[in-house]
């Protein structure tokens, strides 16, 4: 009986797989449309409702995703709803859609990356787009070509969407000013990393069903962290309370305690980790960015690990069902102990996995929002 059931299940899997292949093959045999007018098939969440509205309406008119400080709760919720659908696609035997067939996504990375670059590439390919990877090393940037000239060259070569990572804060804004195509910030200097924050918020929502009322503690090198800034905007927009905690030398000067403190980010500040971690729902240590330390901000890594490292004893004082997050890459033994980083409360791998569904959703929503402009 068990063997028959297993054979039946396998047959059903094969039938599902064949149907998925057939739908992709039939899409592949359609007449090739000119690149700039290739149609984009809406996901079910963007179907028109009885009131004529679409679920993706908050994204209409949005051209770029450069930061989250100008993104509303409604826009974030549409990203999540679309990511839920992308997750369903990702659970299929062949996790691909023909949606962006005939369109090109260019990953323009001036700084190293594993998670973000690969997940943007996988996401765009899953949506059927062509993907071109350009890194500073090996491109004409090495011969002195400027950022603006590089971007205009990529536009002339047919890019429909640019994903930009740069070591300088603001570089994706410069790119957006000098192109007609959509730009997604994949991390700029110490400024912003919007898709990381969206996938972080999505992962929290998967665990708790909401962010409203949750307490989130982000620990460490806040001064250099684009993730901390973007997380604060996203989590706050969704109703969570955010606290930044770290040594004074690793906090932005505008956040240091003082009578005239004027924080530009929606987060409070704590200097004592052992007090701040009590009963929080989410603990997120940040990587100590050794490449961005200047002027001896850190006494020593051993001292840092003692005072601000997340270890098992500390994590046990958080809420009973608290989760441990990290945007990666991790310095294990510095900001987080290895047994905690890979322990039962860790959702670090889920963050990475969710990055694909979230980036598929962002690429899809921007391409939908700007489809009329490209036609």
Of 233-272, which residues contact ligand CP (CB under 6 A)?
Answer: none
- Of 94 and 330, the one with the shorter C-beta distance to ligand CP is 330
Give the residue, chosen from 248, 329, 333, 338, that forms a contact with ligand CP under the rule CB under 6 A: 329
Give the residue, chosen from 36, 37, 72, 114, that forms a contact with ligand CP under the rule CB under 6 A: 114
Give the residue, chosen from 115, 125, 207, 292, that forms a contact with ligand CP under the rule CB under 6 A: 115
Reduce the secondary structure of 158-202 to three states and give it as a string: CCCEEEEEECCCCHHHHHHHCCCCEEEEEEECCCECHHHHHHHHH
Stretch that binds ligand CP, among 111-119, 177-185, 276-284, 294-302 (CB under 6 A): 111-119
Q: What are phi and psi of 48, to 5 degrees?
A: -70, 135
Give the residue, chosen from 328, 343, 350, 371, that forms a contact with ligand CP under the rule CB under 6 A: 328
Q: How far apart are the first and last CA of the chain?
A: 56
> Residue 186 has which token pair?
């994949």
User: What Cα–Cα distance (Å) separates residue 17 from each residue in 24, 216, 340?
Assistant: 11, 41, 38
Least distance (Å) between residue 228 CB and ligand CP: 12
Stretch that binds ligand CP, among 114-122, 204-212, 260-268, 365-373 (CB under 6 A): 114-122
> Residue 345 has which token pair?
């409360």
- Of 127 and 186, the one with the shorter C-beta distance to ligand CP is 186
Give the residue, chosen from 116, 230, 236, 346, that forms a contact with ligand CP under the rule CB under 6 A: 116
Contact 326/348 with Cβ under 8 angstroms? yes
- Report the distance separating Cα 49 and Cα 51, nearest Å: 5
Stretch that binds ligand CP, among 65-73, 107-115, 133-141, 357-365 (CB under 6 A): 107-115
Angle (CA) 45 47 48, round 5°: 130
Contact 241/231 with Cβ under 8 angstroms? no
Least distance (Å) between residue 132 CB and ligand CP: 18
> Residue 194 has which token pair?
């919007």
The residue behind tokens 């694909």 is: 356
Stretch that binds ligand CP, among 57-65, 127-135, 251-259, 326-334 (CB under 6 A): 326-334
> Residue 175 has which token pair?
């790119």
Of 330-369, which residues contact ligand CP (CB under 6 A)?
Answer: none
* 329: preceding bond cis by omega (within 30 degrees): yes
- Of 187 and 194, the one with the shorter C-beta distance to ligand CP is 187
- Of 95 and 328, the one with the shorter C-beta distance to ligand CP is 328
Q: What are phi and psi of 243, to 5 degrees?
A: -125, 130
Least distance (Å) between residue 302 CB and ligand CP: 25
Q: Could you say whether residue 285 binds ligand CP (CB under 6 A)?
A: no
Least distance (Å) between residue 170 CB and ligand CP: 17
| Longest Cα separation, the chain | 74
Who contacts 224 (Cβ-Cβ below 8 Å, separation ≥6)? 190, 250, 289, 292, 293
Neighbours of 30 (CB within 10 A): 11
- Of 44 and 112, the one with the shorter C-beta distance to ligand CP is 112
Binding mask 184-203 for ligand CP (x = CB under 6 A): ---x--------x-------
- Of 276 and 356, the one with the shorter C-beta distance to ligand CP is 356
Contact 20/79 with Cβ under 8 angstroms? no
Stretch that binds ligand CP, among 34-42, 45-53, 321-329, 330-338 (CB under 6 A): 321-329
> Residue 44 has which token pair?
């079910």
Task: Point out which residues bind ligand CP (CB under 6 A).
Answer: 113-116, 187, 196, 327-329
């Amino acid at each position: 009986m068990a063997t028959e059931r297993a054979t039946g299940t396998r047959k059903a899997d094969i039938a599902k797989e064949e149907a998925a292949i057939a739908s992709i093959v039939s899409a592949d045999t359609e007449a090739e449309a000119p690149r700039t007018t290739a149609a984009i098939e809406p996901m079910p969440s963007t179907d028109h409702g009885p009131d004529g509205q679409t679920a993706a309406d908050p994204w209409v008119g949005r051209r770029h995703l450069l930061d989250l400080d100008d993104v509303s709760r409604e826009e974030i919720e549409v990203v999540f709803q679309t990511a839920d659908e992308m997750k369903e696609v990702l659970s299929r035997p062949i996790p691909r859609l023909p949606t962006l067939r005939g369109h090109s996504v260019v990953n323009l990375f001036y700084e190293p990356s594993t998670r973000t670059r690969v997940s943007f590439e996988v996401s765009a390919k899953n949506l059927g787009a062509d993907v071109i990877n350009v890194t500073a090393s090996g491109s004409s940037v090495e011969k002195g070509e400027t950022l603006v000239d590089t971007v205009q060259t990529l536009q002339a070569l047919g890019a429909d969407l640019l994903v930009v990572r740069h070591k300088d804060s603001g570089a994706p804004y410069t790119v957006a000013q000098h192109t007609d195509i959509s730009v997604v910030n994949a991390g700029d200097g110490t400024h912003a990393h919007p898709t990381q924050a969206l996938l972080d918020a999505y992962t929290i929502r998967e665990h708790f069903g909401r962010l409203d009322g949750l307490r989130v503690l982000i620990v460490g090198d806040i001064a250099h962290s684009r993730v901390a800034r973007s997380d604060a905007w996203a989590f706050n927009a969704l109703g969570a309370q955010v606290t930044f905690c770290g040594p004074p030398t690793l906090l932005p000067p505008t956040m240091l305690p003082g009578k005239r403190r004027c924080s530009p980010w929606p987060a409070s500040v704590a200097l004592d980790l052992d007090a701040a971690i009590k009963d929080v729902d989410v603990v997120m240590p940040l990587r100590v960015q050794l490449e961005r330390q200047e002027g001896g901000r850190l006494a020593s890594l051993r001292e840092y690990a003692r005072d601000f490292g997340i270890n098992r004893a500390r994590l046990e004082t958080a809420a009973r069902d608290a989760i441990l997050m990290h945007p990666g890459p991790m310095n294990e033994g510095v900001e987080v102990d290895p047994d905690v980083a890979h322990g039962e409360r860790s959702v670090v791998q889920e963050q990475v996995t969710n990055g694909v569904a979230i980036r598929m959703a962002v690429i899809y929503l921007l391409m939908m929002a700007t489809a009329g402009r490209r036609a």
